[in-house]
Amino acid sequence: MSGATAKIIADSINTWGNGIRIVTMQLRYPRFVHAEFMTHRMFSRNASSSRAIPVAKMIEQVRNDPAMPIHWGKNQPGMQAREELDPATKGQVQLEWLRAARAAADFAESMMEFGAHKQVVNRILEPFQFISVVVTATEWDNFFELRDHEDADPNIAGLARAMAVAMEASKPVKRYALPEHVSEAWHLPYVTDEERSKYLLSVLVRLSTARCARVSYLTHDNDVPLVAKDLELYDRLVASRPLHASPTEHAAHALDHGHFVKNFRGWKQHRVDVENRTWTS
């Protein structure tokens, strides 16, 4: 049974002034702590959706690798369960959790056979699902102070520690407050160095946005993406009404000042260009 994981996707530092770091991570953690993660408003996020993942794939995950707590607290007053159950009782409670996961998978399979859509069936599996999330931010201190703390839920604390370790091990790439049409000024998650040397910036930003919407460089079938398909996805996101804007928040341009633009400091996210209609794709 696996726990929370964090992987650095892009790590950039604006060389202007004191140097403001922007980091994009791909996370995987139990869905039951997602609501807590969503309370941090300085983050730009996209997440895998229960409405999009095939039921059979979700049932397989719940049966073979259900999301489980990493700390099995003993009942006591207050929000923090500082003491764990004794080993024998903990084992029994873990078995009950696994029984509940198997039962949810069985009911979901039955609902699927009746022809119910995945946006219905997958909901019953959510307590045992993992969720994949791409997150980008310049402001991390408050998150780590709150979540990597003894008073935090151990499950989100485990996620916070995995994120902190990933950031400590990563070396940011220098980006420069150059004109916006220069690719060296851009933080572009999921865009490779080879692609940077091959494509125009207008293409690179669209590729990055589409892959952040998908929460992966790879496609949902784990295939290497086709550039044409990524560009089509970008056009569907940006041309749609209402606008699907959140994936446009991860690609960002280094600024020549340290002020905030939306939730980023020292960086201007692509969403600003899209909303102001100043971007020519």
Share of the chain above pLDDT 70, in %: 95
Task: Give me the pLDDT at residue 218, please.
Answer: 61
Confidence at residue 216, expressed as pLDDT on a 0 to 100 scale: 75
> Rounded to an integer, what distance in angstroms lies between the CA atom of residue 250 and that of residue 138?
11
Residue 50 pLDDT exceeds 90? no
Rounded to whole angstroms, the Cα distance separating 241 from 88 reads: 55
What distances in angstroms separate CA 215 from CA 16, 38, 41, 155, 189, one per listed residue? 30, 16, 19, 21, 10
Q: How confident is the model at residue 24 (pLDDT cuts 50, 70, 90)?
A: very high
Encode burial over 162-199: b for 16+ CB neighbours within 10 A, e otherwise: bbbebbeeeebeebebeebeebebbbbbbbeeebeeeb
Q: Across residues 256-264, what is the average pLDDT?
A: 96
With a cut of 90, say whether residue 8 has pLDDT above it. yes
Tens digit of pLDDT for each residue in 212-228? 999 976 655 566 778 99
Q: Which helix (H) or strand (E) holds 174?
A: strand 173-175
Average pLDDT (62-81) is 91
- DSSP sequence for 49-85: -TTTS-HHHHHHHHHHS----S--BPP-SSS---SBP
The whole-number pLDDT of residue 279 equals 62
pTM above 0.75, yes or no: yes
Alpha carbons 156 and 3: distance in angstroms, whole number: 10
- Alpha carbon distance 96, 164 (integer Å): 32
Length of the chain in residues, anyone? 281
pLDDT at 180: 87
Distance CA 21, CA 267 (A): 9
Q: Is the pLDDT of residue 243 over 90?
A: no
- Write down the H helix ranges in 134-254: 141-147, 154-169, 193-198, 201-214, 227-239
99 to each of 9, 13, 54, 62, how far by Cα in Å? 36, 47, 22, 11
* Predicted pLDDT at 107: 97
Domains observed in the chain: 5-169 (3.30.1360.170), 176-276 (no CATH)
Q: What is the percent of the chain with per-residue pLDDT over 90, rounded to a whole number?
A: 82
pLDDT level of residue 139 (50, 70, 90 thresholds): very high
Phi-psi region of 277 (alpha: psi -120 to 50; beta: other; left: phi over 0): left
